[in-house]
Structure 1
């Protein structure tokens, strides 16, 4: 087994240290996770810092395992500086794509909230829940039934306004963390540069060529992001963003052959 490369080693150490500090010493994710653009807590530097934070040990392990498995070969090929640039380029790009899509979704949600505040009522509230807050629909069926039976009740109207405002505040303050975007960029680069390398995956009884694995994984992440199940807390569009920005950068480097690895 080849020795781990310097930049990959340093990234592993930094991610592990940040996880330990965030979990057991000081909750640095409160200021350094990537917040949605509409959040009052958003800061531009979070496009970099979010990559070094992770939600739990499993999240950290899966990302660091991918970095450990696929990163060293790319670093040997490109050199440490180019590999580090690639890592940050894809990680920041992933954050940008995710933020752009979440901004669009949050603007739609904000508009829906403003519309509801102009015409609050049981039918409008049910419509809001079904389109923008499915997680609230079933848990508030009892309230909706009472609101429908007494639609002019001021207390019910005020409670409904609180529901929609609270949901907006929740959505615009959900942070994103993790090195997944950069790791998926590394995965994409590996698939493009070594397309016929056979990978042995856990629970799959036969080898899969890297090009097929990357294609399937990318399509799965795109589908998952579009489906956007509200019970799913995985930032699929960040994964897609990492792969997309990796593809763009590799295509650019290929046009500059004197600068490519």
Structure 2
């Protein structure tokens, strides 16, 4: 049994870990190392804003754990047209620090490149539509579930899909079963998608919403193909 004092101490330690890993200076240096300047037009402002919001909200979540239940997605509630705001709010809550950091790492690395390529407004729409799309598919498949669903993974998988569409031949180092493998971005994104389908078919892990990942990816593919078609249309008409 864990006493309330020990719980409070554990929460304080988690809070210090988050703050030590996410100072503004550390974030600025991370973006600078990728070739971005704070004042440049292509600086990924929306990526940084989403990152900051996730950190702030998850600090609040550590201080006030019931936030998970008030703003997390409960499929049965949404399927009954209640608490629809949780389709969005659940994207900014995470189960633990590892869940948060893994999603934010992909957001920084992949998101910044996507935002620079498609612009801040399209990036904002892509990220949130993918997250909502993932949550909707999860709700549709598990409409009677009372398990709270949390995380930005739907939005992250949407970014992975668009990254694979926009930069199909860019080399990416992926880790499968702890082995580093270099492959084109398109193949990397496709493998992620196929793995999620495989995990869902075999039952997956009960604490991972694979259908939200699949829904986010499919939403990202739809948005990415739309953007690519618009880009080709722009080039076609500008040539005449």
TM-score category by the smaller chain?
0.7 to 0.9
Query: Per-residue CA shift, 1:77-120, capped at 9, x if unaligned?
Result: 121111101111111101111110112xx3xxxxxxxxxxxxxx
What displacement does 1:182 show?
0.3
User: Which of 214, 217, 221 in structure 2 is aligned with 1:247?
Assistant: 221
Matched, 1:212 2:187: yes
Aligned partners of 2:77 and 2:83 also within 8 Å: no
| Structure 1 residues 41 and 256: alpha-carbon distance in aligned structure 2, compared to 1, 3 A threshold | closer
What displacement does 1:249 show?
1.5
Q: What secondary structure does 2:174 align onto?
A: coil
| Structure 1 residues 83 and 100: alpha-carbon distance in aligned structure 2, compared to 1, 3 A threshold | same
User: Which of 10, 21, 27 in structure 1 is aligned with 2:60?
Assistant: 21
Instruction: Note the aligned Cα RMSD (angstroms).
Output: 2.1
Matched, 1:235 2:209: yes
More deviation in 53-62 or 207-216? 207-216
User: Which of 32, 35, 40 in structure 2 is aligned with 1:2?
Assistant: 35
Structure-1 separation of matches of 2:66 and 2:56: 13
TM-score, scaled relative to structure 2: 0.74
- Alignment-derived partner of residue 193 in structure 1: 166
- Alignment-derived partner of residue 15 in structure 2: none
| Structure 1 residues 189 and 214: alpha-carbon distance in aligned structure 2, compared to 1, 3 A threshold | same
Matched, 1:256 2:230: yes
Q: Which has the higher contact order (CA 8 A, sep 6+)?
A: 1
Matched, 1:101 2:159: no
Matched, 1:84 2:117: no
Aligned partners of 1:253 and 1:259 also within 8 Å: no
- The gaps in structure 2 that reach 5 residues or longer are 1-33, 37-42, 236-240
Structure-1 separation of matches of 2:60 and 2:126: 26
| Structure 1 residues 237 and 26: alpha-carbon distance in aligned structure 2, compared to 1, 3 A threshold | closer
Structure-2 separation of matches of 1:246 and 1:32: 24
What displacement does 1:2 show?
1.9
What displacement does 1:42 show?
4.5
What displacement does 1:24 show?
1.6
Aligned partners of 1:35 and 1:41 also within 8 Å: no
Aligned partners of 1:51 and 1:178 also within 8 Å: yes
Aligned partners of 1:35 and 1:42 also within 8 Å: no
TM-score, scaled relative to structure 1: 0.68
